[in-house]
Chain A
Amino acid sequence: MNQIVEKIVKSVPLSEANIGSIEPVFLTEKQQLELCSVTVLSEHAAHKITRNKNDLRTHVQRIQIFIKEQQTEATYSALVDLFLVLKSNGLALRKRMLANARSTLTTQQFTALKMLLLDGLNTESDVPYAKLTLLTQGRMVEPHQDFIQKITAKTEVAISPIEEAMSYIQHGQLEQAQATLQIAILHNPRQLELHYDLLEIFNKTEDKVQFSFCYKQLLEHNIVLPPQWREMAHRFKVEV
């Protein structure tokens, strides 16, 4: 597909009108740089990063676009996004990109990022506010803290069903995770977190048969289910 489009692009005179109608997704990186405006390029890169935040190549391209255009705030924000993704990894890349951006950044921005080179950037609160970041949480006040804690009894040695289910999910054992949560609901039907996690599994797997079986079993035990069960049953067209 790319080759076909490349041939078409090469055969078309590169007038302004033609350039305006070209979709960046069909172009090679080189062609994108030649044919697309800075706005199109930077927006295309931004969308790619929000889809895959670990796409380092696109992070670098985005930073370079903004450095070339001498856009201070955008360059700083793009660097913060890269630093957040890499944390303490990729020191050489972070050093290189920061050095390239030095003349574009303010002294405060440059110093803040330079000080984090070794330890890495873990939270957005460690650096001055970046207006155009894509990957920050955008909390209004920093530093934030937990306002509610889960109390775990010191004598409790067995892991919770949710932790057990998580462990199964991490190993790709979805059926075991589902069974663990279902049993836990039967023992503790008022713990909403169990319901939400089990429903999330059904939502991801789209396993209508298992959902139907589980839903009916829980109803047979006269368990009062959160409304999300009914909604999913409606979605999966499960009749009780």
Chain B
Amino acid sequence: MTAPQHYQLSDTSYVLPTPAGAYFCVSANSDVPARKVLRALFKQDEIAVLNTELLKQWSGLTADNEALELIYRMQSLGWLEGVQNKQQAPKGSLEILLPEILLGLSESGNILLADEQGFYLSAQGFPHETAEQLSALSADLFSLYGRHQGLLKNNLSLETSAWSVVDAAGNGQVGFWPLWIGEHHFVLVIKGVPLLNKPALIKLIWILSIRYGD
């Protein structure tokens, strides 16, 4: 393989998405090359040492330098980082893993993950009935977003599909974040301050991608 002219990939560093990369990966379903790379990374049981061929295969880009430029850009944006030691996807069933992971994403400890049918996979801090109702609401909001996507995304250029109930200052009191995983989507519901800048987000997206990714 010819060495790239402008970029040099480390052949010893493993590449791991950051919470920012994990969020970008699942916050929309458009097939841009950066998202394709992140999706592919999250489908691995173990993180990989990247090479140009793998990058091109994952991103769908055909030129070496384009693929390397993309990955360099993703590193600059803090979506990917290199680490010395091989990391493995969290092992175990969702039922066992989700409670602890979810608690790492909420300051108040009130959080749930709902599926596209409006049922929750795991809920922390909410009474059962509240969790059920919030999950149903999350499905309604997702459907509402689908109906008004043209307005929100195209006319208003809002790149987010998340919803929130806000106070007078515009601060979210309860937030609903759709997570696009393969052909499925889930909704993360958090009451209070979300902590999506935490390693728990990487773990969540990783286990969901392995279980439900394409």
- A interface list, Cβ under 8 A from B: 23-26, 39, 42-44, 46-47, 74, 131-141, 144-151, 190-193, 196, 227, 234-235
Ordered by A's residue number, 13 sampled pairs between the chains whose C-beta atoms are within 8 Å are A43-B192, A47-B193, A131-B104, A134-B195, A145-B81, A148-B71, A150-B7, A151-B7, A190-B65, A192-B66, A193-B69, A193-B73, A235-B154
Q: How far, in whole Å, are A44 and B173 apart by their CA atoms in the complex?
A: 10
Tell me which of A39, A138, A148, A227 contacts B9 (CB under 8 A): A148
Known contacts A132-B107, A147-B13, A150-B72; is-contact A139 B66 (Cβ 8 Å) = no
Q: Is the CB of A43 within 8 A of B199?
A: no
Q: Which of the listed residues A140, A141, A146, A235 has the most CB atoms from chain B within 10 Å of its own CB?
A: A140
- Encode B52-83 as 1/0 by CB contact (under 8 A) with A: 00000000000101101111110100101111
User: Of the candidates B10, B16, B84, which one forms a contact with A140 in the assembled complex, judged by CB atoms under 8 Å apart?
Assistant: B16
Q: Give the one of A26, A135, A138, A151 with max B CB within 10 A.
A: A138
Kindly state the separation between the CA atoms of A205 and B203 in the bound complex, as whole angstroms: 37
Total CB contacts across the A-B interface at under 8 A: 124
The 8 Å CB contact of A25, one of B15, B68, B168, B199, is B168
Per the bound structure, the CA–CA distance linking A213 and B111 in Å amounts to: 48
Residue among A140, A144, A148, A196 with max Cβ neighbours from chain B (10 Å): A148
Query: Within the assembled complex, what's the spacing in Å between the Cα atoms of A24 and B168?
Result: 8
Residues of B contacting A138 in the complex (Cβ-Cβ under 8 angstroms): 18-19, 195, 197-199, 201-202
User: Which of B's residues lie within 8 Å of A, judged by CB?
Assistant: 5-10, 13-16, 18-20, 32, 50, 63, 65-66, 68-73, 75, 78, 80-85, 87, 104, 107-108, 154, 157, 167-169, 171-172, 192-193, 195, 197-199, 201-203
A196→B33 CA distance, assembly (Å): 13
Which one of B13, B19, B66 lies within 8 Å of A137 (CB-CB)?
A: B19
Q: Is the CB of B15 within 8 A of A196?
A: no
